[in-house]
Amino acid sequence: MDDFDVSGSAAAAPALPALTDISIAYALFTYFAFAFLAIGLTVQMVRVLRQMKKAPAREQSGSFVGRLFRAGTDILLLRTTFFADRWAWIFGAAFYFSLILILIRHLRYFLQPAWLGPLWMLLELEQPFGFYGGLVLPAACAAWWGRQVFLKEGRIISSWADHAVMLLLVAIPVVGFLNTTVHTDVIAVKAFAIGLVTFSWVNLPTDPLLLIHLWLVAALMIAVPFSRLLLLLPFGKLLNMKPTEHSGNIRRRTLILRSLGPVLAVVLLAPVAVVARHGMTQGFHPAAVDMASLVADHRSDDNTVMIRNHPKFLFSHRTAVLHAGAITPGDNIERCVTCHAVKDASGQPVSSDDPTHFCRGCHIKAAVTIDCFECHQSKPTPQGQAMLLPRDRFPAVVHQQAERTAAR
């Protein structure tokens, strides 16, 4: 068997593991949260449109269509907030726009590249902006929240639901950022999300911070329908809505909460109970092992280890070779691209420009750009190929390579 042999078939691949209780609990929890959010926002938007239509005509208020158009500009630019309070506009705009960037960034988990075609490149380009939005969001939310708490003028946060939404909007990006430091298997997370979209469930990684992050997101989706916060910020001045007004709506939300309270409590606590029963397992952390020995033996290890931590492996090699001068045979990226080379129809290894390239496959799927091959060669040279001893790859790579060959 030569280095490019991808013999094997999908039938030879190991069967998918049975769904865990944690994966089932989180799948059902997510479905409920999405449904609750969709119904709640629909009801709120219908009420807002009715209020806009029934609002008494004022001088220069214009028609219903005109008010609807101004509402659209408020959503995009927060126009009324800008003219009412500059500081509130600064914090509110940072809050809204960073939230939008984060939501767009996370679309990569619920969409496949084939579904969008060339538009997928736009999602890849947006990823860094979404990351920076995740850094801005908690600070902007905390600043705007604090201003609402300590200043009475222009206050629109008035209920427990408003405060709960702000607390979750601060906590979610913080936990999400911390989750990036432990190297969760994002490919497995995406497989779980795609499974939810296509109703073909797969197991969810049980990293503690990931489970906490997803629970907080679902809790936010459940809390939003009880709060007018996301509507009041852009629409408040246009609709002349104040916290002290519409006491009937407040009483109605309180009645709904009392009716649905036990159900919501069970839904929120069910995933926590399942996780408490089965426990969480943190994924591999490279600081706990010898990097050099792990890289040398990675072919026989779990392939998710490399998916989570290969940037650190590459940085470790860079430091050892360039800074420490510890150069040994095979301590270069040529060995990696040779062992993981993919052949085209003519039997020649493809470069990184080809979507079937070993590295490009996961990077495209996760909407992550790859810049290694701006300097390094992305396919083996004949000399580099000849230097490698023939050996079998671990089964996961054989199966992945076989799928790519069949797809071509």
What domains are there in the chain, each with its CATH number?
A: 10-14+284-407 (no CATH), 21-278 (1.20.950.20)
Mean pLDDT of the region 236-251: 49
Quick check: helix, strand or coil at residue 343?
Answer: strand
Question: What proportion of the chain, given as a percentage, has pLDDT over 90?
Answer: 25
Answer whether 89's CB lies under 8 Å from 97's CB.
no
Give the C-alpha separation, 119 to 390, whole Å. Answer: 40
Residue 390, SS3 per DSSP = coil
Q: Which 3 state secondary structure label does DSSP give 330?
A: coil
User: pLDDT higher for 275 or 390?
Assistant: 275
Cα–Cα distance, 163 to 318 (Å, whole number)? 47
Position 309 confidence tier, pLDDT thresholds 50, 70, 90: confident
Per-residue pLDDT at 356 exceeds 80: yes
Whether pLDDT at 286 is above 60: no
Region 251-266: mean pLDDT is: 77
The answer to whether 168 touches 216, Cβ cutoff 8 Å, is yes
Please tell me the predicted confidence (pLDDT) of residue 343.
83
- Token pair of 47 as six digits: 């009420």
**pLDDT: which is higher, 313 or 57:** 313
Token couple for 3? 């280095």
Q: The tokens of 212 are what?
A: 């906490």
Rg (CA), the chain: 26
Structure tokens at 271: 């995933």
* Mean pLDDT score, 119-137: 91
Distances (CA, A) of 267 to 31, 162, 197, 260, 273: 11, 20, 20, 11, 10
Q: Name which of 273, 172, 258, 157 is nearest 219 in CA terms.
A: 172
Note the pLDDT of residue 61: 57
d(C-alpha 167, C-alpha 142), whole Å: 8
pLDDT, the chain, mean: 76
Q: Is a pLDDT exceeding 70 seen at residue 390?
A: no
Q: What angle do CA 367, 372, 375 make, to 5 degrees?
A: 140
Tell me: pLDDT of 50 over 70: yes
Cβ neighbours around 173 below 10 Å, total: 22
Q: Could you tell me the pLDDT band of residue 235, with boundaries at 50, 70 and 90? A: very low
Output the pTM of the full model.
Answer: 0.77
Q: What is the pLDDT of residue 2?
A: 38
User: CA 354, 373, 120: angle at the middle one, nearest 5?
Assistant: 50
The rounded distance, in Å, linking the Cα atoms of 180 and 177 is 5
Please report, for residues 165, 230, 257, the alpha-carbon distance to residue 260 in angstroms, rounded to integers and kept in the order given.
18, 22, 5
Q: What is the pLDDT of residue 107?
A: 94
**How confident is the model over 149-160, as a mean pLDDT?**
72
Separation of alpha carbons 33 and 149, rounded Å: 28
| 213 pLDDT tier (thresholds 50, 70, 90) | very high
Q: Rounded distance, CA 390 to CA 3, Å? A: 6
Distance, in Å, from the CA atom of 355 to the CA atom of 308, rounded to the nearest integer, reads 21
Amino acid type, 309? N
Give the pLDDT score at 243.
45
Asked if residue 78 lies in contact with residue 92, where contact means CB atoms within 8 angstroms, the answer is yes
H-assigned helices in 12-61: 21-54
Q: What is the mean pLDDT of residues 271-283?
A: 81
pLDDT for the residue 240: 43
If pLDDT is split at 50, 70 and 90, which confidence band does 249 have? low
Q: What is the mean pLDDT of residues 93-100?
A: 87
Using CA atoms, how far residue 212 sits from 47, 168, 178, 283, in Å, is 33, 12, 11, 15
The better pLDDT of the pair 76, 108 is held by 108
The residues, any chain, with a CB within 8 Å of residue 225's CB and separated by 6 or more, are: 36, 37, 39, 40, 41, 43, 44
Integer Cα distance of 236 and 166 in angstroms = 17
Please give the residue that has the higher pLDDT: either 224 or 85: 224
More confident residue, 320 or 206: 206
The pLDDT of residue 91 is above 90: no
SS3 351: coil
